[in-house]
Amino acid sequence: MKYAALLVDLIEIVRRERKSIVNKPKTSSLVPGIIYHAIATLIVAVLYCFGWLNLLTAMAFGIALLKFGLIAWQQQWYCRAKIETVASLETGFALIFVAIVALSVLPAHLN
């Protein structure tokens, strides 16, 4: 199950790295994000269905989906918010994500 948690971590890191590319022009379209998250959701769902991910690990990806949904829903606010507010939001979601991932890699008798 450690590998499953690492896979979810890898998906989140790839998503963050994709956002950090500075040479690409900014777009306000949600379509690329929706396509990316749909593919990632499909991958996580397939891995969960085959038993390669436990529920906690799959829930960790749910945090990333929740954050994307919140940002998509409040896109204008997110684009105009102060950097401190955005940093607080990102930090909060990151801490929740790390807590769930940490719980998911515990041995079965400690869960």
Q: Where are the domains of the chain?
A: 2-20+29-104
Residue count of the chain: 111
Chain segment 12-62, per-residue pLDDT in tens: 777 776 665 544 555 667 888 889 999 999 999 999 999 888 888 888 888
pLDDT confidence band for 107 (50 / 70 / 90): confident
**Is 53 within 8 Å of 4 (Cβ atoms)?**
yes
**Is 61 within 8 Å of 41 (Cβ atoms)?**
yes
Q: pLDDT value at position 108?
A: 66
Start-to-end CA span in the chain (Å):
13
Looking at residue 53, what DSSP letter applies?
A: S
**Is 108 within 8 Å of 56 (Cβ atoms)?**
no
The answer to whether the pTM exceeds 0.75 is no
What are 51's two structure tokens? 């038993």
